[in-house]
Amino acid sequence: MFFIEKIAVETKAYQDILVILSFIGEHGEDKMKQQIERNCKSSAKSGHGILVKLYKDFLSFRLS
């Protein structure tokens, strides 16, 4: 019973962890995704094809 009581005390004392940084905007949009897409477009215009591929790979990994 000691462990159950200890867990109950810890559960009661639990506090939510504050969100320091969120990538979701006020209207539910994904700010990181938007910035990555802007960077991809900018890189494509400047001829940095490998950067575009890396950003797209990162974006597809993050969203999966």
pLDDT at residue 58, as a whole number: 78
Section 20-48 average pLDDT: 78
Question: Which pair of tokens denotes residue 64?
Answer: 């999966």
Residue 23 pLDDT > 60: yes
Collapse the DSSP code of 5 into the 3-class scheme (helix H, G, I; strand E, B; otherwise coil) and give the result.
Answer: helix
Using a cut of 0.75, tell me whether the model's pTM lies above it.
no
pLDDT of residue 47: 62
Give the span between the Cα atoms of 10 and 2, in whole angstroms: 12
